[in-house]
């Protein structure tokens, strides 16, 4: 047990978890506050026979992991806000051509160069809508090191299950924090392997023909089946098509395979929700603040509870609506000017009960901040 105990940075946990999940290829470019992921990958990947490339920019990094994943290796890159912006076009390509991969965006304070060394949660919408065009995407996050481990493995699993890029939306707060983590034993967490086609060589293989269960078996590119991969709308062989039926079908497939499985993709944690009349909704590092406040309130006998979201997209509206039904106040804590709060307002029965509790000066939101802001909102004075 003891040799599985670590006291490390969140970024390093992410690397350990990716290796646990079977990552074999990493391409990246240095950027604060995600560089430790790049550095630890450079250190660890050759030891397991994996491959690491430091590319010329984030655009190239994203492209390289798509190429590598297509040939059969679980692939990943990591970046932060500005670099994440550069990756968006290629991320859209991965969405369109349905190539599994994981992109960690360790959020820093923006816009632009912003505050490179200080954290934020400002990329929730960039993660959702950074690409042009309609599509769906899976975005996961976590607030402590054990959860970063689990959710990173989940990111790889979901990307393989749905043949889609998955975004791991960490933030500087947890990524640079050092705390305890226990590396799970092999087999303790499920690891989903690439679903490969059983179509033999020489038989027509359709890279974009879903099975009955909706999954699309892959054939390692460069292997026994020759097929075409493109960012253009394409048919089941991967060849470009402008046929309205094919275009309509593919666009719906790309959206439905994710939005239609929101129940399976939703990951969240609940704290004292059963009888709560004041609910905090938070995610990432600010959920640590939220939990601290909730526990303090409970000690005083006040019925506070917290819903911590780990899946941000597809937004788990059904969970949020149901858990918030009886609440008098719903406080959404996030380190931005209001992103998840909008989604919460959209899905609850009484949006007027939903309030943003935030801090946007580059500093971390503290329990005192939350207590002060929520007291004012409740009309209890400063």
Partner 1 sequence: MTKRISIKDYIRKRFFPHIWCPGCGHGIVLNNMLRAIAELGIPKNEIVMVSGIGCSSRIAGYVDFHSLHTLHGRALAFATGVKMSQPHLHVIVPMGDGDALAIGGNHFIHACRRNINLTAIVMNNRIYGMTGGQFSPLSGRGIRATTAPYSNLDPNFDTVKLALAAGATFVARTTTYHFREIKEYIKKAIVHEGFSMVEILSQCPTYFGRKNKMGGAVEMLKFFKENTALVGSEKLAKEPQLIPRGIFVEREAPEYTKEYERLIKKVRGAYNK
Q: Which is nearer to partner 1, 13 or 70 (CB)?
A: 70
SS3 (DSSP) at 19: helix
Q: Which is nearer to partner 1, 71 or 113 (CB)?
A: 71
195 cis-preceded (ω within 30 degrees of 0): no
Q: Which is nearer to partner 1, 88 or 141 (CB)?
A: 88
Query: Rounded CA gap, 155 and 312, in Å?
Result: 12
Q: Which is nearer to partner 1, 75 or 159 (CB)?
A: 75
Angle made by CA atoms 353, 128, 249, in degrees to the nearest 5? 115
Tokens 């003891």 correspond to what residue? 2
Q: How far is the CB of 231 from partner 1 (least distance, A)?
A: 6
- Collect all residues with Cβ–Cβ distance below 8 Å to 264 and sequence separation of at least 6: none
Tokens 């929520």 correspond to what residue? 374
Q: How far is the CB of 233 from partner 1 (least distance, A)?
A: 12
Q: How far is the CB of 294 from partner 1 (least distance, A)?
A: 44
Q: How far is the CB of 40 from partner 1 (least distance, A)?
A: 14
Q: Which is nearer to partner 1, 98 or 154 (CB)?
A: 98
Q: Give every strand in the sheet of 304-309, ordered side by side.
A: 268-271, 304-309, 278-282, 329-334, 354-358
Q: Which is nearer to partner 1, 239 or 350 (CB)?
A: 239
Q: How far is the CB of 317 from partner 1 (least distance, A)?
A: 33
Q: Which residues of the shown chain bind partner 1 in the complex (CB under 8 A)?
A: 24-25, 27, 46-47, 49, 51, 53, 55-57, 59-61, 63-73, 75, 89-90, 93, 221-224, 226-232, 239-240
Angle between helices 145-162 and 10-21 (to 10 degrees): 40
Q: Which is nearer to partner 1, 70 or 327 (CB)?
A: 70
Q: How far is the CB of 223 from partner 1 (least distance, A)?
A: 7
SS3 (DSSP) at 369: helix
Q: Provide the token pair at 186.
A: 């092999």
Q: Report which secondary-structure segment, H or E, holds 43.
A: helix 35-44
Q: Which is nearer to partner 1, 39 or 179 (CB)?
A: 39
Helices (H), 260-363: 262-265, 285-299, 317-324, 340-347
End-to-end CA gap in the chain: 48
Q: How far is the CB of 304 from partner 1 (least distance, A)?
A: 48
Q: How far is the CB of 151 from partner 1 (least distance, A)?
A: 25
DSSP for 60-99? Answer: HHHHHHHHHHHTT--EEEEE-HHHHHHHHHHHHHHHHHT-
DSSP 8-state symbol, 351: G
């Amino acid at each position: 047990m003891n040799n599985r105990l670590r006291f490390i940075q969140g970024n390093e946990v992410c690397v350990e978890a990716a290796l646990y999940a079977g990552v074999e290829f990493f391409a990246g470019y240095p950027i604060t506050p995600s560089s430790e992921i790049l550095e630890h990958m450079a250190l660890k990947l050759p030891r397991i026979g994996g491959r690491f490339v430091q590319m010329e920019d984030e655009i190239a990094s994203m492209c390289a992991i798509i190429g590598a994943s297509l040939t059969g290796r679980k692939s990943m890159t990591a970046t932060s806000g500005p670099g994440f912006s550069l990756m968006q076009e290629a991320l859209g390509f991965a969405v369109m051509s349905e190539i599994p991969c994981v992109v960690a965006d360790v959020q820093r304070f923006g816009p632009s160069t912003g505050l490179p060394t200080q954290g934020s949660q400002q990329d929730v919408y960039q993660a959702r809508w950074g690409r042009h065009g309609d599509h769906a995407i899976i975005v996961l996050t976590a607030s402590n090191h054990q959860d970063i481990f689990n959710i990173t493995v989940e990111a790889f699993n979901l990307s393989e299950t749905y043949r889609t890029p998955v975004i791991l939306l960490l933030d500087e707060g947890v990524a640079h924090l050092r705390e305890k983590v226990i590396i799970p034993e092999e087999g303790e967490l499920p690891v989903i392997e690439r679903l490969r086609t059983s179509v033999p060589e020489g038989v027509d293989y359709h890279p974009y023909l879903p099975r009955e269960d909706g999954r699309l078996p892959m054939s390692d590119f460069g292997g026994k089946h020759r097929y075409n991969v493109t960012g253009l709308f394409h048919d089941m062989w991967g060849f470009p098509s402008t046929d309205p039926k094919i275009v309509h079908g593919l666009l719906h497939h790309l959206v439905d395979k994710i939005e239609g499985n929101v129940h399976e993709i939703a990951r969240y944690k609940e704290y004292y929700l059963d009888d709560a009349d004041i609910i905090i909704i938070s995610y990432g590092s600010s959920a640590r603040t939220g939990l601290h406040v909730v526990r303090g309130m409970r000690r005083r006998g006040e019925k506070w509870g917290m819903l911590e979201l780990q899946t941000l997209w597809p937004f788990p509206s059904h969970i949020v609506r149901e858990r918030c039904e009886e609440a008098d106040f719903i406080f959404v804590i996030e380190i931005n000017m209001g992103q998840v709060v909008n989604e919460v307002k959209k899905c609850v029965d009484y949006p007027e009960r939903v309030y943003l509790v935030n801090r946007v000066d580059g500093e971390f939101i503290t329990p005192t901040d939350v207590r002060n802001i929520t007291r004012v909102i409740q009309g209890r004075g400063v």
